[in-house]
Amino acid sequence: MPATNAEISGIFDEIADLLEISGASFFRVRAYRNASRVIKDLSTQITTIAADPAAKLDDLPGIGKDLAKKIKTIVDTGDLPLRAELEDQIPTGLMDVIKIAGVGPRKAHTLFLELGVKDLDTLGEAAQAGKVKDIKGFGPKTEQNILEGIYAVKGMGNRIMRADAEEYANDILEHMRALPGVRHMVVAGSYRRLMETVGDLDILIACDEPARASERFISYPGTSRVIAHGRTRSAIVAGKNVQVDIRIVEEASWGAALQYFTGSQAHSVALRGMALRKGLKLNEYGVFRDGEKIAGETEEGVYEALGLPWITPELRENRGEIAAALEDRLPVLVELSDIRGDLHAHTDLTDGRNTIGEMLAEGRRRGYLYVAITNHSKRVKMAGGLDERGLMEHWRQIDLLNQSMSDTHALKGVEVDILADGSLDIDDEVLAQADYVLASVHYDTNMTRPQMTRRLSRALSNRHVDSLAHPTGRKINERPPYAVNMDDVIAAASRYGSVLELNAAPRRLDIDDLTSRSARDHGVKVSIATDAHSAKEMDFMRHGVNQARRGWLEKNDVLNTLTYRSLMKRLRRHNTL
């Protein structure tokens, strides 16, 4: 089975975690993590590179001969023996343990050695018995956090990030398009509703030859297992764990089936209730009156038969969209084309992988008017964070660069760290000279809800802080959000005229859709920003826009839809309040 870039990157990440759990050296672990990021950033599938006799895998940045051989092994076999060897040495349940906030691979290694912890259950038993707090470097607070974290990790379920599912979705659609006679084909379900995670992929297709379509589907090269095979419905497992279902429907019922299989269930139930009140029947085959079909060929026709305008899939959650449609109040949702710049980007001066010039060049290629260069401040030592003197020199270089450019501006920014008491790790006198200041939390995340809420609110009260970056600290399927009352944080942002970031990195998407909508409802601007650590990661913007659309955000709700002059005018006004 051909290995995708995402799969190879995931294997290297898992090996890095296993090595770190086993107590391997920092440098060996870092080599695998760096290789994972290089592979993830490639614009070309690594299978294509490996198949080219003129190309050398060890020519890739950070990939030496040993890692190149390992990549070739994965491409040829779909896996790496080293991973199996490490899994034999280390209980696989420890991979769940490291998902707990504050428990990384090193602490998992300690728990394994000291207490024999092998999985979430044995860790829970040890923590409930009060054994964890007695280990050096842990303590009562960490023990309590672990107990709460176990519950959070178990509740994450088996859903995968939409961004990861996207690669399979696009590949399978491309595979199916080679089939003659395809009339319509769409990935429905939560994927079409742009949810941040999906349980599986539901592909809907209308075509001339259903039997051939079903055969074509199960012959997808990435299939690891065929679950079901029938004339109108088949199911496979793609890769390791992505279930994909295909449903073949009649063209005359395409619209009704598309609405039905897109969902959400709550939205569909509400529509069926409307239909009943109008003396109609709505199902996956159409809209019927007295047994006669009156709509179903198109989605627009289904909604029209119910007296509604078409509702975009990302709003279909029964959160007021039907009432808004009836009253002609549906939002005109923000589009990717509305974005005029990126307000969170890192360079190779700290933990990024491209120069300022390269990041600006990527911004220019995307038609941006500005890119905020927001390298880390001094508290984040592992990322090479800058102190006051380093920031001033960095901004001087940005000024010089801006003098030679006219179309895309580099904003002098910083991602400043919020200390435990809500103060910042860079002096106000220096922050006053920045164009754009992000404030974020990287340490001391195990606070109580009132403590963390006060911490973030105090940071927002600093007139130099323009935006709160990745406000809840979550990483999807990896780390739950820290305890914080976002209603109070939104109120603080409103009070001080600050912005909340919607971090577009697909593993963050922080803030979520509900919080985005709450910010909108309270008049708080949102910045959709990529947190890009490479030029390629600026592509994350589309994931952020998807999340913003689910949060009902319109163009005027998003800070970085402003032109450069309008943005700078707003930032100057905020910093003088």
User: What's the rounded Cα separation, in Å, for the pair 188 and 246?
Assistant: 10
My answer on whether omega of the bond before 224 falls inside 30° of 0, hence cis, is: no
Confidence at 1, pLDDT banded by 50, 70, 90: very low
Q: What token pair was written down for 85?
A: 């060897």
Whether 526 contacts 498, CB under 8 Å: no
Range in 97-101, 295-299, 333-337, 482-486 the model is least confident about: 97-101
The model carries a pTM of: 0.79
Whether 562 contacts 343, CB under 8 Å: no
H or E stretch including 187?
Answer: strand 182-187
Q: What token pair was written down for 125?
A: 């038993």
Report whether pLDDT(66) > 80.
yes
Confidence at 536, pLDDT banded by 50, 70, 90: very high
Q: What token pair was written down for 554?
A: 């319109």
User: pLDDT, tens digit, for every residue of 494-527?
Assistant: 999 999 999 999 999 999 999 999 999 999 999 9
Report whether pLDDT(433) > 90.
yes
Spell out the residues 6+ positions from residue 219 whose beta carbon is closer than 8 angstroms to its own.
none
User: pLDDT, tens digit, for every residue of 72-92?
Assistant: 888 888 788 888 888 888 777
pLDDT at 440: 97
User: What's the rounded Cα separation, in Å, for the pair 425 and 417?
Assistant: 6
Sorted by where each starts, the structural domains of the chain and their CATH numbers stand as 5-154 (1.10.150.110), 160-248 (3.30.460.10), 253-326 (3.30.210.10), 336-575 (3.20.20.140)
Q: How far from chain centre, in Å, is Cα 451?
A: 27
Report whether pLDDT(155) > 80.
no
Report whether pLDDT(15) > 70.
yes
User: What's the rounded Cα separation, in Å, for the pair 124 and 143?
Assistant: 9
Q: Distance from first CA to last CA of the chain, Å, rounded?
A: 59
Q: What is the mean pLDDT of residues 186-207?
A: 96
Q: What is the mean pLDDT of residues 296-306?
A: 98
Report whether pLDDT(350) > 50.
yes
Instruction: Select the more confidently predicted residue: 253 or 481.
Output: 253
pLDDT at 179: 93
Whether 528 contacts 499, CB under 8 Å: no
